[in-house]
């Protein structure tokens, strides 16, 4: 909903005040049984607004009725037709022979005349419908004004104080309803204005937050010894040792002002390669990011365990061993427990974990092979 414009709101408030003044006047008249003010207003309305509007409506009604009758006569008029054979014979008797060409030309003229007549009749029909609707609305308004005029005349000719009291009481009820309706519109308008103000405030706040994120990002990126750059260094080291490739971790603000992180592999041209988007490398890159975060926060209050479901299946046998050795060293140096679930067939040939590194062996041969020794459900 669109709020009222300033001028519209002022007009509505002025209208509200006028209604309140009228209500106050009517209350005074009822309390004092003095209805001179209402008598005066009714006389002014009768001699001014009501009679003037009735005169205007009657003039419009006369004009529209005249137009409707003219259209009705037009609609009832017959359509002239050409007799092509008679016209052709007339030309022959005059000694002018045009052959079939003159007959075809007149046939086209007859068809053109028929189309024009049909369109004209449709236009006349539409105009009649519109005039009948207008006349119906005028008749309804005349009836309403005539009834209002009659009621006001009856009121003015009455000397019964109780009848006048009842009439003024009814008018007061109508005005009070109008006051309630105007107040409702103004309340809704205030609510809409408040919502818009809140929206503008949130937009301003968002701009401030986006700017704060930008400033903070620039500061963090330039801080060579900060946490963010430690994460980047560990990630690059992880990619080099496990995948024997060059890795990169970057962050930038998107169009909404939020930060977007990009982790990938760099080719010889210094650009991120398409390998970074493939399933095989994307999973191992995510694992590397987790390990980098754990290492960077090793000297802070942070979680002390990391769990990954799978990961070896995306690597060749040599890189699988490199990965296992890397997480062994990283978890030991940085003081966190690393948990990895693997399928036995994904292990390199001949490779076995030491007994102290195996926490649980899962299988399908009964409850003892389930994680919590629980029966299935």
The pLDDT of residue 336: 93
Which structure tokens are listed for 219? 């500061």
Q: What are the C-alpha distances in Å from 207 to residues 19, 31, 179, 212, 214? A: 45, 60, 42, 9, 11
Domain spans in the chain, listed from the N-terminal domain onward: 6-193, 223-369
| Residue-wise DSSP of 340-351 | EE--GGGSPTT-
- Assess contact for 26 and 166: CB atoms under 8 A: no
Short-list 251, 247, 257, CA closest to 284: 247
φ/ψ of 263, rounded to 5, equals -120, 130
- Assess contact for 117 and 79: CB atoms under 8 A: yes
Q: Cα separation of 154 and 163, whole Å? A: 10
R_g of the chain computed on alpha carbons: 46
- Assess contact for 217 and 259: CB atoms under 8 A: yes
The pLDDT of residue 364: 79
Query: Is residue 349 classed exposed, middle or buried when 0-12, 13-18 and 19+ CB atoms within 10 A define those classes?
Result: exposed
Query: Is residue 272 classed exposed, middle or buried when 0-12, 13-18 and 19+ CB atoms within 10 A define those classes?
Result: middle
Q: What are the C-alpha distances in Å from 157 to residues 43, 52, 143, 151, 160? A: 11, 21, 21, 10, 9
Which structure tokens are listed for 255? 């169009």
Q: Which CB contacts under 8 angstroms, 24+ apart, belong to 107-114?
A: 109/82, 110/81, 110/82, 110/84, 113/79, 113/80, 113/82, 114/79
- Assess contact for 145 and 89: CB atoms under 8 A: no
CA atoms within 13 A on the CB side of 230: 11
pLDDT in tens, the chain (377 residues): 556 665 777 888 888 888 888 888 778 777 766 666 666 665 555 555 666 666 777 777 777 777 777 777 766 655 445 555 565 555 455 445 445 555 555 566 556 666 776 777 777 777 777 777 877 887 887 777 777 666 666 655 655 666 767 777 888 888 889 889 988 888 888 888 888 899 999 999 999 999 999 999 999 999 988 999 999 999 999 999 998 889 999 999 998 889 998 888 888 888 888 777 767 778 888 899 999 999 999 999 999 999 998 888 878 889 999 999 999 999 999 999 999 988 888 898 888 889 888 888 888 777 777 777 777 76
Q: Cα separation of 229 and 20, whole Å? A: 70
Which structure tokens are listed for 247? 């890795």
Provide CB contacts within 8 A for 68, sequence distance 6+: 128, 131, 132, 135
The pLDDT of residue 227: 92
- Assess contact for 176 and 23: CB atoms under 8 A: yes
What single DSSP character describes residue 264?
Answer: E
φ/ψ of 253, rounded to 5, equals -85, 135
Give domain 6-193's CATH number out of 3.30.60, 1.10.1760, 1.10.287, 1.10.246: 1.10.287
Looking at domain 223-369, does it have CATH number 3.40.50.300? yes
Short-list 142, 190, 161, 149, CA closest to 45: 149
Other beta carbons less than 10 A from residue 255's beta carbon: 5
């Amino acid at each position: 909903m669109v709020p009222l414009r300033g001028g519209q709101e002022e007009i509505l408030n002025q209208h509200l005040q006028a209604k309140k003044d009228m209500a106050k006047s009517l209350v005074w008249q009822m309390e004092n049984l003095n209805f001179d003010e209402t008598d005066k207003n009714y006389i002014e309305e009768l001699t001014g607004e009501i009679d003037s509007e009735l005169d205007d409506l009657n003039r419009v009604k006369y004009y529209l009725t005249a137009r409707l009758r003219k259209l009705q006569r037009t609609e009832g008029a017959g359509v002239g037709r050409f007799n092509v054979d008679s016209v052709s014979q007339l030309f022959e008797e005059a000694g002018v022979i045009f052959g079939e060409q003159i007959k075809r030309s007149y046939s086209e003229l007859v068809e053109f005349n028929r189309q024009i007549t049909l369109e004209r009749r449709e236009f006349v029909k539409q105009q009649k419908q519109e005039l009948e609707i207008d006349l119906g609305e005028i008749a309804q308004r005349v009836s309403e004004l005539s009834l209002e005029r009659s009621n006001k005349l009856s009121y003015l000719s009455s000397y019964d104080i109780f009848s006048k009291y009842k009439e003024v009481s009814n008018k007061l009820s109508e005005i009070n309803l109008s006051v309630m309706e105007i107040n409702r519109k103004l309340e809704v308008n205030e609510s809409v204005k408040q919502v818009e103000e809140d929206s503008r405030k949130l937009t301003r706040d968002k701009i401030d937050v986006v700017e704060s994120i930008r400033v903070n990002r620039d500061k963090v990126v330039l801080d060579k010894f900060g946490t963010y750059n430690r994460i980047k260094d560990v990630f690059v080291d992880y990619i080099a040792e496990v995948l024997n490739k060059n890795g990169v971790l970057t962050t930038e603000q998107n169009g909404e002002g939020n930060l977007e992180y990009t982790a990938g592999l760099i080719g010889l041209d210094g650009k991120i390669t398409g390998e970074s988007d493939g399933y095989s490398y994307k999973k191992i890159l995510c694992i590397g990011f987790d390990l980098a975060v754990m290492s960077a926060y090793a000297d802070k209050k942070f979680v002390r365990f990391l769990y990954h479901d799978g990961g070896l299946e995306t690597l060749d046998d040599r890189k699988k061993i490199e990965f296992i050795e890397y997480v062994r060293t990283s978890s030991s140096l940085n003081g966190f427990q690393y948990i990895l679930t693997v399928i036995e067939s994904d292990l390199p040939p001949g490779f076995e974990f030491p007994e102290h590194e195996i926490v649980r062996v899962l299988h399908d041969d009964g409850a003892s092979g389930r994680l919590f020794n629980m029966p299935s459900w």
